[in-house]
Amino acid sequence: MLRPAPEREAGFTLVELLIAIVIIGVITVPLANALMGSLRNTGETSNRLELSHDAQLTAAYFAKDVSSIGVRDYTGTPDASGNLPYKSSIQLNAAYNANGNTCGTAATPNSTVRFLSDNWDNSASPATVSTDIVGYYLSGAELHRIKCTAAATSDVVVAHNVDGTTLSVTCSSTCDAVAVPQHVTIAFTLRKTGVDPYPVSVNGQRRQT
């Protein structure tokens, strides 16, 4: 009488298990390295985009602010074209109340630069004029833009991770002279761990002459 052959028991032999472990190791190590590299690159890209965004935001605000610089001297003598002379309209390292132009409080750090401009209110009769003030100041590593008008005050952070030792402002002529410069440049470097320093240089041009 023939007996059926015994069925093989399910499972792996020790040799098969060791081979499987070796194969998994060979596959896993490069995959893990690739994953870590991808995560590292994603972080670096995110940081670079953050610095780039701050540079673009600063440029947008700064160009607009410089374009409107100019406070007229309404007690002065008009020139041949009937234009009144200007007063000094740019202030450097300015306290919140420099020269009687108040923007902020005693707790507001000195502004690296402040811009003054005329703001005419034609809704009244006769029209009235006030002075708008825009200042750029550092608080820690954050570059703030504070703006004060007759109606409101706003204070926003336009750049983070600013290396304060690199912040500077230059003008096409003497910044705080009565003859208001046509061009103003603000420059600084943004620094964040894991990415190269990001130098920023933003130039603004006045519309008024």
- Output the tens digit of pLDDT for each of the chain's 209 residues: 555 555 555 566 766 666 767 677 667 666 656 556 555 556 678 888 899 999 999 999 999 999 999 999 888 888 888 888 999 999 999 999 999 999 999 999 999 999 999 998 888 788 888 999 999 999 999 999 999 998 899 999 999 999 999 999 999 999 999 999 999 999 999 999 888 999 999 999 998 66
Is 37 within the bounds of a domain? no
| Residue 137, strand partner residues | 144
Is 175 within the bounds of a domain? yes
Is 62 within the bounds of a domain? yes
Domain range for 114:
46-205
Q: Whole-angstrom Cα distance, residue 186 to residue 201?
A: 6
Is 40 within the bounds of a domain? no
Q: Whole-angstrom Cα distance, residue 6 to residue 48?
A: 67
Count how many domains the chain has: 1
Burial of 142 (0-12, 13-18, 19+ CB in 10 A): middle
Q: Whole-angstrom Cα distance, residue 114 to residue 106?
A: 16
Decide if 160 contacts 25 (C-beta within 8 A): no
Is 29 within the bounds of a domain? no
For residue 26, the SS3 value is: helix
Is 198 within the bounds of a domain? yes
- pTM score of the predicted model: 0.78
In the prediction, which pLDDT does 193 show? 85
pLDDT tens, 48-81? Answer: 889 999 999 999 999 999 999 999 988 888 888 8
Is 86 within the bounds of a domain? yes
Is 13 within the bounds of a domain? no
> In the 8-state DSSP scheme, what is residue 109?
P
